[in-house]
Chains A and B, each alone.
Chain A
Amino acid sequence: MIVEIGHFALVLAFALSLVLSVAPLVGARMGDARLMGLAEPAALSILALVALSFAALTVAYVQSDFSVANVWENSHSAKPMLYKITGVWGNHEGSMLLWVLILAAFAALVALFGGNLPATLRANVLAVQGMIAAAFLLFVLASSNPFERINPPPIEGQDLNPILQDIGLAIHPPLLYLGYVGFSICFSFAVAALIEGRIDAAWARWVRPWTLAAWAALTGGIAMGSYWAYYELGWGGYWFWDPVENASFLPWLSGTALLHSAIVMEKRSALKIWTVLLAILTFSLSLLGTFLVRSGVLTSVHAFATDPTRGIFILMILIAFIGGSLALFALRASSLTAGGVFHPISREGGLVLNNLFLTTAAATVLVGTLWPLIVESVSGEKISVGAPFFNMTFGPLILPLLLAVPFGPLLAWKRGDLYAASQRLFVAFGLSLAIALATFFIVDRVSVLAALGIAVAFWLVFGALTDLALKAGIGKVSPSVALRRFIGLPRSVFGTSLAHAGLGLTTLGIVAVSALEVERMAVMHPGDAMEVAGYELRFDGMFPFEGPNFTEEQGRFTYLDRSGRERGEIVSSKRFYPARQMPTTEAGIASRGFSQLYVALGDRAPDGGIVVRAWWKPQVLFIWIGCVVMMLGGAISLLDRRLRVGAPAARRARPARPFVEPAE
């Protein structure tokens, strides 16, 4: 019964989303507060119903109810409970339900905390959110219904794809979707502004927290996905420039641009039209990502079972929303008042530069990702665009941005002084250069580029710290005053610094791994040893092991340091999942500080040995630590009180003329 209630709740949520997409819109147009008032209860009810639906599906998974086709296809009674639950969104239907759940949650948040929004703006935002929800609920119900039943039920399920039976999967899609779907709010705000034909500083201030939240979640989601690929796929790589990865990276790039352009719009009332366009583009890229992942039109290492008919459905949603919003943009953008001009050397000038670089980089990634599709439809030839292309284009395009980042926060609004900023950054510059020289002469004399890359990474970190130090007045005022000022700094200043420093840490990890990684491969027999970056890796043998729903052969290794002391054990294994008749490789990883020793097993050699591939990954953990720091920066900015627009005077007795505070 619970399954059918879940199904019914989903259908009812669809009906409500139809109401939500029409009634408030009409209400805002007619100036009718009652119709606009429908938006909040509708948005909250949709969330409650979709949550009920999701809970029902989860119960079906937990109870192994194989009369539900989705459960039968993706679960197994012997699967550990954790993976029964994560399996709910480990498949197409369930993940789309999660998508809709998060969408509904965001709409509900606007309904709950949108009290300080003008009534028409709130009604329009919720209506646009309702349209997105209606489209995706229809998609779920019509082409990917997770509540389809089988009568009579099979006695055992087909199990979840083993590489998805991992804790990384429990976190990665929800975070990624929080990011993707979070940008839907920015999109709804942008479309609502276009519908109303007005946009102001308050608009930018309302959009910023949503952008921040979505951006932080997307950062975490991408990082988690990258770490999952790193340890689960057993190839030792953390980023493959694969279409599916690019699909998540594109909204991140344009979302980062949006984050910065919204600041300019709020502070300087400039870049209005551009910001609205970015908000539309960012969510469009999120939709494109969903489409690419779900349709399988591009060959991807991440492609799981895909279904072209579903792809066409999402493509239609994509065309409707992107086409519709861009058409509205073309029609209405001219009615938005354009902002003022400004000096190129200024904070806003720096932020424009940031936008220029980020969107160009995003465009390059987009072209590279879609190029195979374009070529195929034009000439019929099949090509692939892989890492070499992106390394050649993305790297050079993003490098100048990385170099420029520390200057940005140091420039004043309106008219900045580049020379003064450079002087202030002198210490950061010197330190970075010193570290680069030290790296080159002490650690490794191999690559000048690696040393320079490391300098760039530290430049970002020290630049971010310089900003904090200057704002607190360290060195200028007495330590106690500086400390007080430091504590009193607005949260968004800390957020900016953390995010920029996090970018530096990620850069550090990427540069270190790319340039200084050591890889060894050999056929090993028990007792054999091989040298990896100063460690001796000894193969102790293969041991059988029985897991809950798999059997595995564990290859056990001991690693010893230069002095021959045993430092620890590494277990890398080859698993076999009988329900799907599928083998997987579990990499063995040992962390030494921020570096890792990574061991993957290959096939058995004819003479009984086993192929072993081992990597030394120096400072690799910084790649993800940096992302976590960026995420933290986003979260701290989000806590900044200034991001919450105070409710206007309307609640108080309304003065005849709007209240103007004299400039003291």
Chain B
Amino acid sequence: MLFWIVAAALTFGACLLLLAPLARGNANAADAQAHEIEVYKDQLLEIERDMARGLISASEAELARAEIGRKIIRLSDAQQTAGSTAPSRPLARWIGAAAILSLPLVSWGLYAATGSPFYPGQPLQARLERDPSQAFVDELIARAEAHLAANPNDARGWDVLAPIYLRLGRYSEAATAFANASRLDEPTAARLAGEGEALTAAANGQVTADALARFEAALALQPDDLPSRYFVALASDQAGNGEEAGRMWQEMREGLPQGSPWHGVIAAAMDGEDAAASGDDQAAMIENMVASLAARLEANPHDVDGWQQLIRSYMVLERPQDAQSALDRGRAAMGPASPEGGHLAAYGLSLGLEVEQ
């Protein structure tokens, strides 16, 4: 509202300022030649000064004075057009009125086409001070990052941030965060395994030598660390030692308690192994997982993280149309104007998807 008041006041003020000279009478302007004479008079004075200073001789000064005098006389003789300005004609009045009228028309018309009058400013400080429960994940991260920028030696902070990065797919930052926590405090199995997992994810699922070293270090600290054991087995599998990997997973499965989520993970891994890690099957498995996620979201659409995961999955599978449609459905489900909808829109934009306003 305030914006409209200010905009209207500016427009009105500008019109009023232009109106003032139009309302005034049509005074006669001084003629132009008077100005020229003024310059010549000044030049005469300067000759006096130069002569007084001894820069020019008296005869030179006399010559110069005579020349300027001739110029002045020539000017005065040239009879100027008398009464240089005519009384205001009606046409001028119409032009003046049109000029003033054009101000609101041009400005409001052009602004309507280009401006975003309903979009308030978003100063960073104010955004960060808002109630955290209202904030999006990325604002929470920004808060944590700001905290860590001020206190870079806070290992706890890195512990909090690292798994969030990992979940959001910011793998290299996750790896750095885990490494920072290890460096500042001490390497624990969880930190090492997390770093290894981030490195693996950053390498598109390949357990790199670096990652393997982290997992092995984690197991040295804590021999029964499940994620590390799983990835060490995966590394053997990727290195072509399918049998050894199978044996390790089997061993791991036997030690698992009832209901552990690792059952499913290992089963899937071993299925993949049984099918000779055929790429088709692996892809089929991913497709299945994505399909089930999509189905779950159809049933229960109010899940920002779910939508985000689905969109990302489609992008990873190189199905941008599906990603686009998931984005559209997600935003529709959240309400495009809601904070969550805006959040999805931002996420979509960051992946290069389109967001309809």
> How long is the Cα–Cα vector from A435 to B256 in the complex, in angstroms?
94
Report how far A205 CA is from B18 CA in the complex, Å: 30
A121 touching B32 in the complex, CB below 8 Å, given contacts A5-B7, A23-B95, A645-B38? yes
A8-B107 CB under 8 A given contacts A3-B121, A32-B86: yes
A34 touches B92 (CB 8 A): yes
From A7, A60, A66, contact of B115 by CB (8 A): A7
Identify A45's interface contact among B17, B35, B48, CB under 8 A: B17
Bound complex: CA A269 to CA B71 (Å): 10
Question: For A310, what are the chain B residues with a Cβ–Cβ distance below 8 Å?
Answer: none
Known: A8-B7, A32-B86, A34-B26. A412 touches B18 (CB 8 A): no
Q: Smallest CB-CB separation from A200: which chain B residue?
A: B36
Interface-side segment among B98-106, B163-171, B177-185, B259-267: B98-106
A33 touching B28 by the CB < 8 A rule? yes
Residues 69-80 of B, flagged 1 when their CB comes within 8 A of A and 0 if not, give 101110110000
Cβ B122 vs Cβ A153 within 8 A: yes
Question: Within the complex, which residue of B38, B93, B115 is in contact with A11, where a contact is CB–CB below 8 Å?
Answer: B115
Nearest B residue to A5, CB-CB: B6
> Contacting B88 at CB < 8 Å: which of A9, A32, A200, A646?
A32
In the complex, how many residue pairs between chain A and chain B have their CB atoms under 8 Å apart?
A: 255
B124 contacts A65, C-beta separation under 8 Å: yes
The answer to whether residues A19 and B32 also contact, given A151-B119, A155-B139, A471-B55 and a CB cut-off of 8 A, is no
B91 contacts which of A3, A14, A30, A147 (Cβ < 8 Å)? A30
Of B31, B41, B85, B120, which one neighbours A661 at CB under 8 angstroms?
B41
Q: Smallest CB-CB separation from B84: which chain A residue?
A: A31
Say yes or no: B99 contacts A23, CB within 8 Å.
Answer: yes
- Nearest Cβ in chain A — how far from B81, in angstroms? 10
Residues of chain B contacted by A32 (CB below 8 angstroms): 26, 85-86, 88-89, 92
- Within 605-664 of A, Cβ neighbours of B (below 8 Å) are at 642, 645-651, 657-661, 663-664
Q: Nearest residue in B to A78 (C-beta to C-beta)?
A: B149
- The chain B residue with its CB closest to the CB of A145 is B114
Residue A516 interfacial (CB < 8 Å)? no
Instruction: Pick the contact of B10: A3, A30, A49, A155 (CB < 8 A).
Output: A49
CB of B10 within 8 A of CB of A12, answer yes
A1 touches B121 (CB 8 A): yes
Q: Do B121 and A2 touch (CB < 8 A)?
A: yes
Q: Does A118 contact B (CB under 8 A)?
A: yes
For residue B239, CB closer than 8 A to chain A, the reply is no
**Are the C-beta atoms of B125 and A657 separated by less than 8 Å?**
no
B154-162, B228-236, B244-252, B342-350: which one contacts chain A? B342-350
Contact with B along A454-498 (1 / 0, CB 8 A): 000000000000000001010011000000010010100000000
Look across to chain A and name the residue whose beta carbon is closest to the beta carbon of B111. A11
Does B2 sit within 8 A of A, measured CB to CB?
yes
Q: Which residues of A contact B114 (CB under 8 A)?
A: 7, 11, 141, 145
Q: Which residues of A contact B120 (CB under 8 A)?
A: 1
User: What 0/1 readout, one digit per residue, does chain A (488-522) give for beta carbons within 8 Å of chain B?
Assistant: 10100000000000000000000000000000000
Across the interface, which residues of B come within 8 angstroms of A151, CB to CB? Answer: 116, 119, 342, 345, 357
When distances are taken between beta carbons in the complex, the residues of chain B under 8 Å from A41 are 17-18, 20-21
B43 within 8 A of A: yes
User: Which chain A residues lie closer than 8 Å to B127 at the CB level?
Assistant: 153, 155
Q: Are A116 and B115 in contact (CB under 8 A)?
A: no
Bound CA span A15–B18, Å:
12
Q: Is B305 interfacial (CB-CB < 8 Å)?
A: no
A118 CA to B34 CA in the complex, in Å? Answer: 9
Q: Does B37 contact A (CB under 8 A)?
A: yes
A225 in the interface, Cβ–Cβ < 8 Å?
Answer: no
B36-91 CB contacts (< 8 Å) to partner A: 36-44, 46, 48-49, 53-56, 60, 64-66, 68-69, 71-73, 75-76, 84-86, 88-89, 91
Q: How many Å from the CB of B143 to the closest CB on chain A? A: 10
Q: Give the distance in Å from the alpha carbon of A12 to the alpha carbon of B9 in the complex.
A: 12
A30 x B92 contact (CB < 8 A): yes
Judge whether A27 is part of the interface by a CB distance below 8 angstroms: yes
Of the residues B40, B49, B54, B103, contact of A201 by C-beta under 8 Å:
B40
**Chain A residue with minimal CB distance to B80?**
A658
CB pair B85–A31 under 8 Å, yes or no, is: yes
Q: Taking the complex as formed, is B96 at the interface, i.e. its CB lies under 8 A from any CB of chain A?
A: yes
> Does A26 touch B at the CB level, under 8 Å?
yes
Q: Which of A4, A60, A63, A205 has the most CB of B within 10 A?
A: A4
Taken together as a complex, chains A and B put the C-alpha atoms of A7 and B116 apart, in Å, by: 9
| Chain A residue at minimum C-beta to C-beta distance from B7 | A8
A471 and B3 within 8 A (CB): no
Whether a CB of chain A sits under 8 angstroms from the CB of B208 is no
Give A3 to B119 CA distance when docked, in angstroms. 9
Report how far A154 CA is from B349 CA in the complex, Å. 10
| CB-based nearest B residue for A34 | B22
Are A267 and B111 interface neighbours, CB within 8 A? no
B60 cross-chain contacts in A, Cβ below 8 A: 412
**Interface status of B283 (Cβ within 8 A of chain A):** no
How many angstroms between the C-alpha atoms of A661 and B100 in the bound complex?
A: 45
Shortest C-beta distance, A88 to chain B (Å), equals 15
B303 at the A/B interface (Cβ < 8 Å)? no
A580 within 8 A of B: no
Contact B55 A648 (CB under 8 A): no
- Interface membership of A152, Cβ < 8 A: yes
CA distance A295 to B50 in the complex (A): 51
Complex interface residues of chain B between 111 and 165 (CB less than 8 A to chain A): 111, 114-117, 119-127, 138-139, 141-142, 146, 149
Q: Contact between B96 and A34 (Cβ–Cβ < 8 Å)?
A: yes
Separation of A476 and B54 alpha carbons in the complex (Å): 10
Measured CB to CB, the closest approach of chain A to B331, in angstroms, equals 12
What would 14 more interface pairs be, CB under 8 Å, given A15-B106, A66-B124? Answer: A1-B3, A4-B115, A5-B7, A32-B86, A34-B24, A34-B26, A37-B21, A41-B21, A77-B124, A116-B35, A149-B119, A198-B32, A471-B55, A645-B42
Q: Which residues of B come within 8 Å of A, CB atoms?
A: 2-3, 6-7, 10-11, 13-14, 17-18, 20-22, 24, 26-44, 46, 48-49, 53-56, 60, 64-66, 68-69, 71-73, 75-76, 84-86, 88-89, 91-93, 95-96, 99-100, 102-103, 105-107, 110-111, 114-117, 119-127, 138-139, 141-142, 146, 149, 342-343, 345-346, 357
Q: Which residues of A contact B (CB under 8 A)?
A: 1-5, 7-9, 11-12, 14-16, 18-19, 22-23, 26-27, 30-38, 40-42, 44-45, 49, 60, 63-67, 77-78, 116-121, 141, 145, 147, 149, 151-156, 198, 200-202, 205, 266-267, 269, 412-414, 471, 473, 476-477, 485, 488, 490, 642, 645-651, 657-661, 663-664
Q: What are 23 contact pairs spanning A and B, CB under 8 A?
A: A15-B103, A22-B95, A30-B91, A31-B84, A31-B86, A33-B26, A33-B29, A34-B21, A35-B95, A41-B21, A49-B14, A67-B119, A118-B29, A147-B115, A155-B139, A198-B32, A201-B40, A205-B39, A412-B60, A413-B64, A648-B30, A649-B34, A658-B33
